[in-house]
Amino acid sequence: MADRYLHLTGTAPGRFLTRRLGLPQPAPLRRWTLETPHLDGPLLHLTAGASAVTGVAEALRTSGLTVTERADRPAAIVLDATGVATAAGLGDVHAALHPVVRSLAPGGRIVVLGTVPSPDDHHQAAAQQALEGFVRSLGKEIGRGSTVQLVRIPVARIPGGASAHAAGSTLRFLLSPRSAYVSGQVIELTSAAPDSDSGSGSGSGSGPTPITDPAAPLTGRTALVTGAARGIGAAVASVLARDGARVIALDVPGAREELERTADRLGATALPLDITAPDAADRIAAAAPDGLGVLVHNAGITRDRRLANMPADRWASVIEVNLDSVLRTTDELLKAGTITRGGRIVATASIAGIAGNTGQTNYAASKAGIIGLVRSLGPRAAADHGVTVNAVAPGFIETKMTAAVPLFIREAGRRMNSLSQGGLPVDVAEAVAWFAQPESTAVNGQVLRVCGQSLLGA
């Protein structure tokens, strides 16, 4: 269902009228294309006080942008606030960004680098937590399709201090058109990087896995995507194939025709299979004899009713598809070693699992369950299997699922976020692809909202 309002505000009379009426002004978002893979302009690198980490400049240079300490019209600004450890130090954050924030180009990016709030030093914890409120507020006021995020770099307990080296893939994602619909997010990197598949299998790697072809980082890896016949799943399959993965696209046998069309288009293998089948894990393992480098749990259903009107079967089917089958297949595929060392598991939550939603007690419970799963399993899967476990939590994404939502609720869903528009399936797919990268070893147990900073559950 096309977003006619976005089209209207893109015309001169439409813009005039909607501005006069004080209505939202969604800016068209630029997504990644082969021709325009980078933001259009330099990256301004600023520091608030003294940095507490090394390697920031090196990590920023891998973004593909020209890094500078002075720019009239930056496409991106990275503020290193890792050294801010007191309330007074927050003044340095204001002093660094206040003079330049207005000069950010439309569709620009601001990334603030922080560290993890300390359990032992409440002054440092207060100052670092303050950055979260700062980033979320700036995301809401910046406008013109720009985004703002906070990336926390862990303080290493090694001589020489913490390094931003492991943040490379995360910064590349956030500082590119791939993160167009991600804003107001806090990403906490881990220092306990799991093994790569080329490692010794000792269970503790030392950093990100280097990739051989930056344009196709998933070359040589097999990725399985559930619910891949259409919507977000088809977009995920497409982006992972673009990034070089051999893709297995799974969907229910009833969607076989659509699944085969999608798979053919992508050069993928179609696997018609109901993910709730008792032998689903065995059939997936049989379809991937060399193992899986990436497993994306995307299949999901809604069976909405208020709790008082919800029969047990509607409750059970949503929990079964959205949560129980994810838990079961994950456990079985990890245990069988089908997910190879250096592997990536990405599950699909929802902002409904964070904020809750009328008529969706079953759906929201299942999606909140996914968040519990990734936070608990992430560290253990890394230690035991060398595998990361993360989740995307989409907001309002333009798919068949949301096209079926009644008009007024649909319009509210589209506008009630900092970017005043719905996201596209590719926005979720790009986030999945970032989690899936071999170099994203330090990204684990995270839930990334792809919601344009939705006001729900903010």
Nearest distance from C-beta of residue 149 to ligand NAD, angstroms: 20
Whole-angstrom distance, CA of residue 327 vs CA of residue 38: 37
Q: Which is nearer to ligand NAD, 84 or 296 (CB)?
A: 296
Please state the closest distance from residue 229 (CB atom) to ligand NAD, in A.
4
> What CA dihedral angle connects 279, 387, 233 and 414, to 10 degrees?
130
Q: Would the CA dihedral through 257, 262, 264, 268 be positive or negative?
A: negative
Residues that bind ligand NAD (CB under 6 A): 226-227, 229-233, 251-252, 255, 274-276, 298-301, 321, 348, 350, 394, 396-397, 399-402
Cβ proximity to ligand NAD, 246 vs 297, nearer residue: 297
* Nearer to ligand NAD (CB atom), residue 81 or residue 275: 275
Q: Characterize the bridge pairing of strands 447-450 and 388-394.
A: parallel
Q: How far is the CB of 452 from ligand NAD (least distance, A)?
A: 11
CB of 266 to ligand NAD, least distance (A): 15
Q: Which residue type occupies 199?
A: G
Nearest distance from residue 346's CB to ligand NAD, in Å?
11
Smallest separation, CB 80 to ligand NAD (Å): 33
CB-nearer residue toward ligand NAD: 188 or 251: 251
**Min CB(228)–ligand NAD separation in Å:** 7
Output 344 or 449, the one with its CB closest to ligand NAD. 449
Catalytic residue among 315, 363, 396, 435: 363
The smaller minimum CB distance to ligand NAD, of residues 355 and 383, is found at 355
Structure tokens that stand for 32 in this block: 């990644």
| Closest CB 271 distance from ligand NAD, rounded Å | 9
Handedness of CA 284, 220, 214, 192 (dihedral sign): positive
Closer to ligand NAD at the Cβ: 126 or 310? 310
Nearer to ligand NAD, 4 or 400 (CB): 400
Residue 456 CB, shortest distance to ligand NAD, in Å, is 11
3-class secondary structure per residue, the chain:
CCCHHHHHCCCHHHHHHHHHCCCCCCCCCCCCCCCCCCCCCCEEEEECCCCCEECHHHHHHCCCCCEECCCCCCCEEEEECCCCCCCCCHHHHHHHHCCCHHHCCCCCEEEEEEECCCCCCHHHHHHHHHHHHHHHHHHHHHCCCCEEEEEEECCCCCCCCEECHHHHHHHHHHCCHHHCCCCCEEEECCCCCCCCCCCCCCCCCCCCCCCCCCCCCCCCCEEEEECCCCHHHHHHHHHHHHCCCEEEEEECHHHHHHHHHHHHHHCCEEEECCCCCCCHHHHHHHHCCCCEEEEEECCCCCCCCCHHHCCHHHHHHHHHHHHHHHHHHHHHHHHCCCEEEEEEEEEECCCHHHHCCCCCHHHHHHHHHHHHHHHHHHHHHHHHHCCEEEEEEECCECCHHHHCCCHHHHHHHHHCECCCCCECHHHHHHHHHHHHCCCCCCCCCCEEEECCCECCCC
Q: Is 363 a catalytic residue?
A: yes
**Closer by beta carbon to ligand NAD, 131 or else 431:** 431
Which of 302, 381, 384, 317 lies closest to 346 in space, CA to CA?
Answer: 381
Instruction: Supply the residues annotated as catalytic.
Output: 363
